[in-house]
Amino acid sequence: MAPGDAAALAAVGWFGRGTRPAAGQGNCTLTLVAPDLILTAGHCVPGGPDAAREIGAFTFLAGWAGGRAAAGARAAEIIRAAPDPARGAPLAGDIALVRLNRRIAAAEVAPLPLADGSMEPGAPVMTIGHPIAAPDVAERQEDCRVLQVEAAVAALDCPAAGGYSGGPVLSMEWDGWHVAGVVVARGRGGEAAGSYAVTVPGDLRARIAGR
């Protein structure tokens, strides 16, 4: 395990309805980015008029592996990214924050910081995801590179399984792993890209920073 991997694995967790994962149950992967905020794909949270009520049925289990979590909390509020045509394709808006019903202390799990810049073609990155078929496992795609970037959407050469949605795209910086983006889709057959990710927009960055 490389330096910083343990901290990254602890901050990334399972997210779904109920209190515990079950094989075959729909789930996503989320990352703790502030004591009471987790970052995910927009399609991982409920939509429609009942979304504010339905989100309370979801649980985040940080560092979930082998039936144990480093910390857990219930979801309390959805914070969606504001529409921004400058970010390009509709896929770029598929990102959101979820506010938790409690603050997770740094002694339990430390949030992962955001990367300063955008993803660049050729850059090495790592993704982490909890596959639906085996949600007790946090799978790492370590040998991953950015193929191309169009506005806020990046194509990655590493594959993604069902359940990876919302998981982080991590870039290694001098002080450890930073969140450069969020996995939002799998690549289609015949494409070079194994998965697609989006960068974190300015309005969500401001919420994470407490502004």
Domains of the chain, start order? 5-111 (2.40.10.10), 124-200 (2.40.10.10)
Predicted confidence at residue 2, as pLDDT, reads 58
Q: What's the per-residue H, E or C state across 112-154?
A: CCECCCCCCCCCEEEEEECCCCCCCCCEEEEEEEEEEEECCEE
The mean pLDDT of 69-93, rounded to a whole number, is 91
pTM recorded for the entire structure = 0.94
pLDDT tens for each residue of 151-207: 899 999 999 999 999 999 999 998 899 999 999 999 876 678 899 999 999 999 999
pLDDT tens for each residue of 11-60: 999 999 988 887 778 899 999 999 999 999 999 999 989 999 999 999 99
The mean pLDDT of 63-92, rounded to a whole number, is 91
Predicted confidence at residue 192, as pLDDT, reads 80
Any idea which residue has 């050729």 for tokens?
122
Q: Exposure pattern of 103-132 as b/e (b: 16+ CB <10 Å)?
A: ebeeebbbbbbbbeeebeeebebbbbbbbb
Question: Are 156 and 185 a contacting pair, CB within 8 Å?
Answer: no
Predicted confidence at residue 83, as pLDDT, reads 87
% of the chain at pLDDT higher than 70: 97
Instruction: Check pLDDT > 60 for residue 3.
Output: no
